[in-house]
């Protein structure tokens, strides 16, 4: 309402500015029409801004994201146990397959990085990891993450693995899927002196 009062006031100012013209009635008519145009344009803009296209609106349930994160973690851990490169690679997005030229090499090297055969693992935390939303379009981008702690091998080593993925991304669907897996050697990481280095860690993919 305040904005419309300003528009009307603007019209009154125009009226005074044109009041000195010879054809006063014509000037008044022009001001009224101009003020009306400004008002109607404002109403149309406000209507467009507040209108939500329900067919184009996307709502993502965090429960669904959590299910996907746990599904990914389960496949990932089985792949590491069996050293199944194809199953692990299949988790990555189409974008990752096209852009990460060394993905096959990274996966092969990750199996070497883990010393020994995995015999057990501890707690798993998997679920929604943030994203971006729009008032008119809903969920634009939804992220998930999975953390697996206390992964032990038959050589006595211990690891933590974190997987990061995108559940939905309306701007680029080719990025839906895993984009990185981060492996940490628990023993080395506890002993390290510089927390800024990458000693005792291994990346598959990219940390976007």
CATH number, position 121: 3.10.450.50
Distances (CA, A) of 146 to 66, 70, 74, 117, 135: 9, 7, 10, 21, 28
pLDDT higher at 202 or 32: 202
Counted domains in the chain: 2
118 and 19 share one domain:
no
43 and 64 share one domain:
no
67 and 168 share one domain:
yes
167 and 198 share one domain:
yes
122 and 21 share one domain:
no
78 and 171 share one domain:
yes
Q: What is the pLDDT of residues 19-65, one digit of tens each?
A: 444 444 444 445 444 444 544 444 334 434 444 445 578 888 999 99
Q: What is the pLDDT of residues 11-21, one digit of tens each?
A: 444 444 444 44
User: Looking at residue 22, what is its pLDDT?
Assistant: 41
Does 160 score more than 50 pLDDT? yes
pLDDT higher at 22 or 132: 132
27 lies in which domain range?
Answer: 2-51
Q: State the average pLDDT for the chain.
A: 79
45 and 112 share one domain:
no
| Claim: this prediction has a pTM higher than 0.75 | no
13 and 101 share one domain:
no
The two tokens of residue 157 are 């080593």
Of the segments 42-51, 62-71, 132-141, which one has the largest average pLDDT value? Answer: 62-71
* Percent of the chain residues past pLDDT 70, beyond the cut: 70
29 and 127 share one domain:
no
Which of 100-114, 122-136, 139-153 comes out lowest in average pLDDT?
Answer: 122-136
Confidence of residue 207 (pLDDT cuts 50, 70, 90): low
pLDDT higher at 76 or 11: 76
């Amino acid at each position: 309402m305040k904005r419309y009062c300003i528009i009307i006031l603007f019209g009154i100012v125009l009226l005074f500015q044109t009041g000195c013209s010879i054809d006063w009635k014509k000037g008044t008519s022009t001001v009224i029409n101009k003020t009306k145009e400004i008002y109607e344009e404002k109403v149309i803009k406000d209507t467009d801004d507040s209108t939500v296209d329900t067919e184009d609106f996307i709502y993502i349930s965090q429960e669904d994201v959590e299910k996907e994160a746990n599904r990914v973690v389960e496949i990932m851990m089985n792949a590491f146990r069996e050293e199944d490169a194809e199953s692990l690679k299949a988790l990555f997005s189409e974008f990752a397959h096209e852009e990460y030229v060394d993905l096959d090499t990274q996966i092969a090297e990750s199996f070497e990085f883990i010393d020994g055969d995995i015999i057990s693992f501890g707690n798993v935390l998997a679920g929604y990891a943030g994203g971006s939303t729009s008032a008119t379009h809903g969920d634009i981008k939804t992220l998930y993450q999975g953390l697996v702690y206390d992964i032990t091998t038959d050589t006595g080593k211990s690891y933590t693995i974190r997987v990061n993925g995108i559940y939905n991304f309306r701007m680029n669907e080719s990025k839906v899927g895993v984009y990185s897996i981060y492996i940490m050697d628990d023993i080395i990481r506890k002993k390290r002196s510089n927390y800024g280095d990458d000693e005792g860690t291994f990346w598959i993919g990219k940390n976007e």
